[in-house]
Structure 1
Amino acid sequence: METIHAADRVFVTWDAEPIANGAVVVGRDRIGAVGTYEELRERFPQARVRTWPGSLGPARIHDGPLPDAPSPRERVHAVLKLGAVAVLEQYADTPELRAAAERNDVVVFPSTARTPALVQTGRADLAVFDEAGACIATVCAGRLVHRRR
């Protein structure tokens, strides 16, 4: 089943101009479309809808040490709570951290040479941030893995 993630503003990249009242269609682990909510609701009438306040855009690459936590799983989850779904290889420096990242579909990159973007047919990695910059929700490979209550 497809899900439409709608927000006040949707950014294809965080440097791009936002789409007001934008939305992203997610099917399984892929992005099906990006556009205005009205357009995508018409194109995907059977999709369920999740509406988020704030700004939705590509999930981030965590470019520093993973937050301290009692276990590798909790360290990876702490990154997801920050709106990131990728970490740098130099910081996933133990077999336990790499295994925890893999189990949670968190990508391990050798460098930050990438600019995350919402691309049709690309992996569905999204993050939603409130006006203060705090992460409200993280979608990793199409799964909602963090939602602030």
Structure 2
Amino acid sequence: MTIHAADELRYSWDDAGPGPGPVKGGAVAVEGDRVAATGALEELRERFPGARVRVWPGVLGPGLVHLGPVPDAPSPRERVHALLKLGAVAVLAEYADTADLRGAAERNGVVVLPRVRPAVIVEAGRADLAVFGGEDGVCLATVCGGRLVHRRR
């Protein structure tokens, strides 16, 4: 089990999405590839005392659905990694248009979607998270299916 925490937790990037709204000092407990719980960091530390805790600067929220062409790179693996560096954990099928690219997405846990779906954090849902921070809002970390797959150094 890992608890990911940040200065602020957002259940969706749209204020009208599910959840109670932004949580200062919020966190997401992840077990396997699922969200075990969400809330204030201290509450989750008490509830899961043996969990590993990763504290990120910035805003923690749902991983993104990439809505356009996959960034160009020399190999399908590098193209998928470019998505992860943007905080994306899903791509539309129309843009994952080769078997090599779909295979690289699958190996990295990136979901290939037939259509757009809302990016939200829900308990028992797949643990797809992204942390954005800094003055330029750059992606600091991406968690895809419970695995930390990108971390900016």
Pairwise CA distance, 1:116:
1.0
CA distance in 2, matches of 1:105, 1:148: 19
**Offset from partner CA, 1:16-47 (integer Å, 9 cap, x none):** 33100000000111100010011111111110
CA distance in 1, matches of 2:69, 2:137: 20
Q: Is 1:120 matched with 2:119?
A: no
> What amino acid is aligned across from residue 7 of structure 2 in structure 1?
D
In the alignment, which residue of structure 2 is the partner of 1:142? 146
In the alignment, which residue of structure 1 is the partner of 2:2? 3
SS in 2 for 1:54: strand
TM-score norm. by structure 1 comes to 0.96
CA distance in 2, matches of 1:55, 1:24: 12
Gaps of 5+ in 1: none
CA distance in 1, matches of 2:142, 2:67: 17
In the alignment, which residue of structure 1 is the partner of 2:111? 107
In the alignment, which residue of structure 2 is the partner of 1:78? 82
In the alignment, which residue of structure 1 is the partner of 2:18? none
In the alignment, which residue of structure 2 is the partner of 1:15? 14
TM-score norm. by structure 2 comes to 0.94
SS in 2 for 1:136: strand
Query: 1:41-52 to 2 correspondence within 5 Å?
Result: 41-52=45-56
SS in 1 for 2:2: strand
> What is the alpha-carbon root mean square deviation over aligned residues?
0.8
CA distance in 1, matches of 2:146, 2:3: 11
Gaps of 5+ in 2: 16-20
Pairwise CA distance, 1:83:
0.1
SS in 1 for 2:7: strand
User: Aligned residue pairs: how many?
Assistant: 147
Query: 1:17-96 to 2 correspondence within 5 Å?
Result: 17-96=21-100
Identical aligned residues as a percent: 67
